[in-house]
Amino acid sequence: MKIENPVVWFEIYVDDMERATSFYEKVFKTELSEIGDPTNEGLKMMAFPGNMDSQGKAGGALAKAEGMPAGGNSTVVYFHSEDCNIEEARVKDAGGEVLRSKMSIGEFGFVSIIKDTEGNMIGIHSMK
């Protein structure tokens, strides 16, 4: 069986869950929901909306855990957008920073690179 998309889950580690949740909800105009700790080790998670039952559709959450600091990694998660400019315009007011304004990636559309309130670098992708 060929896997359509092998990415099924992502976690963006944060230091301040309330601040980070506010940032993502403001920038992406979405609502994150608290999910239980699957480890029973004090993991706090706020999940992005999604359908984990659908193959090829990745789900994810903000996560806060002892020994797992925010920022400083080299993985970039890209969030879907109708137009990168829309979310990019909300970043500063939400407490983040635009690192690279909307740029063309040719036939693959456009991306913006931003930094959230926790120092994590994330991307925004759109086709227009």
Domain borders along the chain are 9-126
Provide the whole-model pTM: 0.83
Using CA atoms, how far apart are residues 41 and 63, in angstroms rounded to an integer? 12
Mean pLDDT of 99-125: 93
Domain 9-126 has CATH 3.40.50.300: no
29: nearest Cα among 89, 113, 97, 100:
89
For the stretch 86-103, pLDDT in tens is 999 999 999 999 999 999
For the stretch 47-97, pLDDT in tens is 999 876 665 578 888 999 887 788 876 678 999 999 999 999 999 999 999
